[in-house]
Structure 1
Amino acid sequence: MAARRALSATAEIVALHVSPVHAYEGRPSDGPRPDPEPVSRDHVVVRAGLGLVGDRYFNRAAHRRAAVTVFAVEALDDITDDLGLAAVPSPLVVRRNIVLRGFAVDRLARHDVFSLDSGDGPVRFEAHRPANPCAWMDAVIAPGAFKALRGRGGVRCVPLDDGLLRPGPVALVT
């Protein structure tokens, strides 16, 4: 078996999202629960094996290998054209924790390790499984978004290091 070659690149953290509550519960036809409008954070604190401080999945045993979700914003660019939308949806509506530009997140395989360094030191993550989109995408983006995002919903990860991430340019190593 051939060893995989390390890739080093510059990408961008477009948005960081931490939410203490789960806004997409119940039936999409009823609309999201009254959760504050998603807001991109100016930084997130990452804890190894636990997730993002303040997030609803932080230190939850059932979510240890899926505590952090990473998403490629290019998927929203693509579905904007596919669905004929007037504007690209906010990257926060998909409610993924880390939204990147310039990295094909959905190509990560189970147990792939990658690091992000936005200036405060590298933080490593291990990919575990796809972050499949849900039917809520049809309600919060547009009809057809759920289907259009299949295979492009991001990946669920476990953080391997403590650290800090900020929006903006990020050094990325796989």
Structure 2
Amino acid sequence: MNVVRQLLQHCDSAFGGQGTLYQYEAADVLIAVYPPSKRRGWWTYATVELHRSGQSECVMYSYQYDAGMIDHLAHVAAQVSRMWQQEQLRLYTGAVFSLLRPVAEKSSLQHVLATPAYYEEEGFSYFTNGNDVIRLMMLHAIADTEVDFLAQYGWEALAELFARTGVDSLDVMRGPAV
């Protein structure tokens, strides 16, 4: 069984059903979209072919279905792939990627921040089939001022600020914490 099928099974199991697949040639990536379930009250969007560029996959979330999230994820996947091809740099906690437009209409969030997959059960963030180890990371939508805060104070300070101010990472319409 190939790695993409294995990753899809991993995601299907974690997200409670089979996802709808979208192919994006510009990013050369397959994206699976999962609707909310009884256990999970949000939409989940996950890459499943990005691992070819640095052994990582990306996951985004939203309370409402938004086809634009698929576009955003494909755009970020292309940036992650370029980062691997040009610098041999894998996706890492604290990496920031700019979006082509705000994450949602009328949102002030124009970037995404890579973090561990906090909303998932233990064991989800690292997939292995005995040969490959692939890290699945969450992309949080963030604002320009939060990017500036991250650059000045670092990842841990931003995470602490988000926790202290009660940032809901699934709320793409939230205001900036800074």
- More helix, by proportion: 2
Q: Which has the higher relative contact order, 1 or 2, with Cα contacts under 8 A spaced 6 or more apart?
A: 1
TM-score of the pair, normalised by structure 2: 0.31
